[in-house]
Structure 1
Amino acid sequence: MQKPKRTSLPSDKLPPWLKFRIWAGKVIHRGRNVGGGRGQVFRLPFRRIAKLDCHPNELEAMEFVRKHTTIPIPRIYEIYGYDGGQHLVMQEARGGHVKVHYGGMTPGQVKTFGLDLAGCLNQLRSLQPPAAGFVGSLSLGSSLDHRLSGTRFGPFHSVADFHTYLRRGRPLQHWENEPDVVRVHSTPDEYRVTFCHADLNPNNIMVKHGRITAIIDWEFAGWYPEYWDYTKMYWGERPLWANFYRAVEEEPAIIKYPAERAAELAIWKRMHPWSYDDPPWSPGEEQQAGQKQPDQG
Structure 2
Amino acid sequence: MSQREESTLKWVAWLCSDALAHILESLLPLSAPGHSPSDIDDISDEELFRLAREGSKFKLPSTAICTNNISRVTEHTVLKSAQDMEDDTDYPSEALVLQLVAQQTSIPVPRVRRLLKAEDGTPYIAMEHIPGHQLSFVWPTLSWFGRIRVAFRMHSYVRQLRKIKHPRSAIPGPMGVPGEGGRICPSPLFGPVVFRGPFATYSELTGFFNERLARLLQSGSTSPLDTLAFDDSQPLVLTHQDLNPRNFIVGDDGHLWLVDWAWAGFYPPWFEFVAMRRQAGNEEDVTGKKNPDWDAIIPFVCGWFFEQARWIAHISKALYWA
* TM-score (structure 2 length as normaliser): 0.67
Measure the CA separation in 2 of the matches of 1:108 and 1:218.
Answer: 28
Kept in 2, the 8 Å contact 1:95–1:213? The answer is no
- State the partner residue of 2:77: 48
Residue 74 of structure 1 pairs with residue 110 of structure 2: yes
- State the partner residue of 1:265: 313
Tell me the secondary structure at the aligned position of residue 42 of structure 1. strand
- State the partner residue of 1:284: none
Measured after TM superposition, the shift of residue 178 of structure 1 is 4.0
Measure the CA separation in 2 of the matches of 1:88 and 1:143.
Answer: 19
Whichever residue aligns with residue 173 of structure 1, its letter is: L
- State the partner residue of 1:177: 222
Measured after TM superposition, the shift of residue 242 of structure 1 is 3.1
Gaps spanning 5+ residues in structure 2: where? 1-34, 85-91
Once the two structures are superposed, residues 5-58 of structure 1 have per-residue CA deviations (whole angstroms, 9 ceiling, x without a partner) of 789x9xxxx714431355343x65499498647x32123341432112443111
Measure the CA separation in 2 of the matches of 1:43 and 1:234.
Answer: 30
Whichever residue aligns with residue 104 of structure 2, its letter is: H
Measured after TM superposition, the shift of residue 138 of structure 1 is 2.5
Tell me the secondary structure at the aligned position of residue 277 of structure 2. coil
Whichever residue aligns with residue 202 of structure 1, its letter is: P
Calculate the aligned-residue CA RMSD, in Å: 3.6
May I ask how many residue pairs the two structures share in their alignment?
A: 261
Once the two structures are superposed, residues 139-169 of structure 1 have per-residue CA deviations (whole angstroms, 9 ceiling, x without a partner) of 242133152335452224125x324423664
Tell me the secondary structure at the aligned position of residue 232 of structure 1. helix
- State the partner residue of 1:144: 185
Tell me the secondary structure at the aligned position of residue 15 of structure 1. helix
Residue 226 of structure 1 pairs with residue 269 of structure 2: yes
Gaps spanning 5+ residues in structure 1: where? 279-297
Tell me the secondary structure at the aligned position of residue 191 of structure 1. coil
Measured after TM superposition, the shift of residue 63 of structure 1 is 0.9
Residue 120 of structure 1 pairs with residue 163 of structure 2: no
Structure number having the greater helix percentage: 2
Kept in 1, the 8 Å contact 2:97–2:264? The answer is yes
Percent identity, please: 15
- State the partner residue of 1:292: none
Measured after TM superposition, the shift of residue 120 of structure 1 is 0.6
Consecutive aligned runs of 4 or more in structure 1 exceeding 6 Å deviation: 1-7
Structure 1's 107 and 63: CA in aligned 2 closer, same or farther, altered over 3 A? Answer: same
Measured after TM superposition, the shift of residue 109 of structure 1 is 1.1
Once the two structures are superposed, residues 186-224 of structure 1 have per-residue CA deviations (whole angstroms, 9 ceiling, x without a partner) of x53x22211111222112222369x75211111221111
**1:23 equivalent among 49, 54, 61:** 54
